[in-house]
Amino acid sequence: MNRIVIHTDTPSGTINRNLYGHFAEHLGRCIYEGIWVGEDSPIPNTNGIRNDVVKALKQIRIPVLRWPGGCFADEYHWKDGIGPRESRKRMVNTHWGGVVENNHFGTHEFMLLCSLLECEPYICGNVGSGTVQEMQEWVEYMTFDGESPMADWRKKNGREEPWALAYFGVGNENWGCGGNMRPEYYADLYRRYQTYVRNFGKNRIYRIACGPNVDDYNWTEVLMREAARHMDGLSMHYYTVAGTWKEKGSATDFTEREWFATMQKALVMDELIRKHSMIMDRYDPDKRIGLIVDEWGTWHDPEPGTNPGFLYQQNTLRDALAAGVTLNIFHDHCDRVTMANIAQTVNVLQAMILTEGERMIVTPTYHVFDMYKVHHDAERLPVHADCGVYEWNGESVRQVSVSASKNREGRIHVSLCNLDHRSEARLQLRLHGVDGQPALAGTMLTADEPNAHNTFDRAEAVRPVEFRGAAWRSGELEAVLPPKSVVVLAIG
């Protein structure tokens, strides 16, 4: 029996809804086809943006969207993406498939997308191949209210009012595709570039510095030492890869070893956040600076027959479990981790949505984001879990991942993942501070097969169903989680 105690009367921090953020890059079919189809497309759209995708993303209450990359951000020149579309400059997307980028989706289109989604824009600027002036002018173009060369140009291009821009990233992966820099060099560049990311009028920008790759603790140390006072956030990237970078493994055709490895590697997120936070704590004990996990998710081999540079992968129950576990970890660290952006929204990596021409399906990962949205901006509740392990071939991980929160109305939500491929998990939950036996409801995502997934012909093969496996017994909650399941309980 797994014993879990939830302290409902001593909340510890707020689960920032931005932990449920997303990332959309000019990569493969994410922006083009996945989001942007153009005004003349037979696919129903609003000024070129697909209506079905907007509707699905609004359902999960997407809070913030990062754009235009990724590696693409450090070779993106924003001026190529404004003005009449027919005359926009074309370029080669050298990182992703070597395809021609026609720049039809630019600043105005991205801002329209965010307003349709009712989410915050998070723009990543170009440090690797862009100039300080270019970055300065982009911010002026978007946010300056009044007369200025950039604001006047924006108005000429059809947008009178400035946009509100809350989040700006100063470069992406500048230790790698964003310029192969040393942390000392980037720290100096960061200090310089961010100076010109100005707050115009009432607009206030939260400046995010490029942070470490996975466990590069030296990068965090140097950035915090040299630039902490100039930043509001420091990013961190970590992808869950079941195999090796060279042979990641199939998204759908995997063994129990790969299932176990995926769970084991998803759980590494906890260690990474703890260790990077320890460094940040030394320079920023009040936790003013957010750790922004602005790229995370599972990364498998591309689907056979697709352009390998497009990173198109299917999404199974295994990905849903990895998402559930990771989101629970983010909750645990909500004092330091204030935003996260899963990669990537449509048709790329661990996507929410897959499209094929005019058809669209949502993935098992999407359903986890939908089930977990009850945690947005809720108070995190401390949890003590005395749980068993899931063993495979002499190695083990904890069998159950759990997180709990209380929303403004006082309703408690508990998200539970049973990582075990084969065995159910029996739970006894004690809720300190809860009297009697309040109303109980639950939702569950599971399937018979670990690689169950949705296809364009079977769009609902994996979808949430009512969970009936929990009941009150003598003042405690007892629940039985089926193998490989994600469950969210609503109490009260």
User: Active-site residues: which are they?
Assistant: 173, 295
Reported in sequence order, the residue ranges of 81-232 that DSSP labels E, i.e. its strands, are 91-93, 99-101, 120-125, 167-170, 206-209
Residue 485: CA count within 13 A, CB half-sphere: 26
301 touches ligand AHR by CB under 6 A: no
Which residue is nearest to ligand AHR, using beta carbons? 70
Q: Which is nearer to ligand AHR, 344 or 405 (CB)?
A: 344
# chain residues binding ligand AHR, by CB under 6 A: 10
313 touches ligand AHR by CB under 6 A: no
Q: Which is nearer to ligand AHR, 151 or 323 (CB)?
A: 323
Q: Which is nearer to ligand AHR, 177 or 387 (CB)?
A: 177
Range 448-460 burial, b when 16+ CB lie within 10 A, else e: eebbbbbeeeeee
74 touches ligand AHR by CB under 6 A: no
172 touches ligand AHR by CB under 6 A: yes
173 touches ligand AHR by CB under 6 A: yes
Report d(CA 467, CA 480) in Å as an integer: 10
The least distance separating ligand AHR from the CB of residue 239, rounded to whole angstroms, comes to: 7
Per DSSP bridges, beta strands 485-491 and 440-445 are: antiparallel
Could you tell me which stretch among 106-114, 145-153, 342-350, 444-452 binds ligand AHR (CB under 6 A)? 342-350
124 touches ligand AHR by CB under 6 A: no
Per DSSP bridges, beta strands 233-240 and 206-209 are: parallel
70 touches ligand AHR by CB under 6 A: yes
Q: How far apart are the first and last CA of the chain?
A: 24
Could you tell me which stretch among 69-77, 204-212, 277-285, 300-308 binds ligand AHR (CB under 6 A)? 69-77
Binding test (CB under 6 A) with ligand AHR, winner from 295, 301, 332, 420? 295
Could you tell me which stretch among 67-75, 137-145, 360-368, 379-387 binds ligand AHR (CB under 6 A)? 67-75
Q: Which of residues 245-274 bind ligand AHR (CB under 6 A)?
A: none
Asked if 208 contacts 169 with a C-beta cutoff of 8 angstroms, the reply is yes
Asked if 130 contacts 349 with a C-beta cutoff of 8 angstroms, the reply is no
Q: Which is nearer to ligand AHR, 70 or 364 (CB)?
A: 70
The least distance separating ligand AHR from the CB of residue 15, rounded to whole angstroms, comes to: 24
69 touches ligand AHR by CB under 6 A: yes
Strand partners, 213: 237
The least distance separating ligand AHR from the CB of residue 88, rounded to whole angstroms, comes to: 22
The least distance separating ligand AHR from the CB of residue 167, rounded to whole angstroms, comes to: 16
Per DSSP bridges, beta strands 206-209 and 412-418 are: unpaired
25 touches ligand AHR by CB under 6 A: yes
Q: Which is nearer to ligand AHR, 82 or 342 (CB)?
A: 342
Range 332-344 burial, b when 16+ CB lie within 10 A, else e: bbbebbbbbbbbb
Q: Which is nearer to ligand AHR, 172 or 326 (CB)?
A: 172
The least distance separating ligand AHR from the CB of residue 295, rounded to whole angstroms, comes to: 5
CA angle 319, 372, 412 (to 5 degrees): 140
Query: Which of these, 3, 23, 476, 59, lies nearest to 235 by C-alpha position?
Result: 23
Q: Tokens representing 233? A: 């956030």
CA distances from 29 to 340, 356, 399, 400, 453 (A): 22, 10, 36, 35, 20
CA distances from 413 to 261, 300, 477 (A): 28, 31, 13
The least distance separating ligand AHR from the CB of residue 105, rounded to whole angstroms, comes to: 16
Binding test (CB under 6 A) with ligand AHR, winner from 49, 251, 269, 343? 343
CA distances from 389 to 22, 392, 447, 460 (A): 31, 10, 21, 31
Binding site for ligand AHR (CB under 6 A): 25, 69-71, 172-173, 295, 343-344, 349
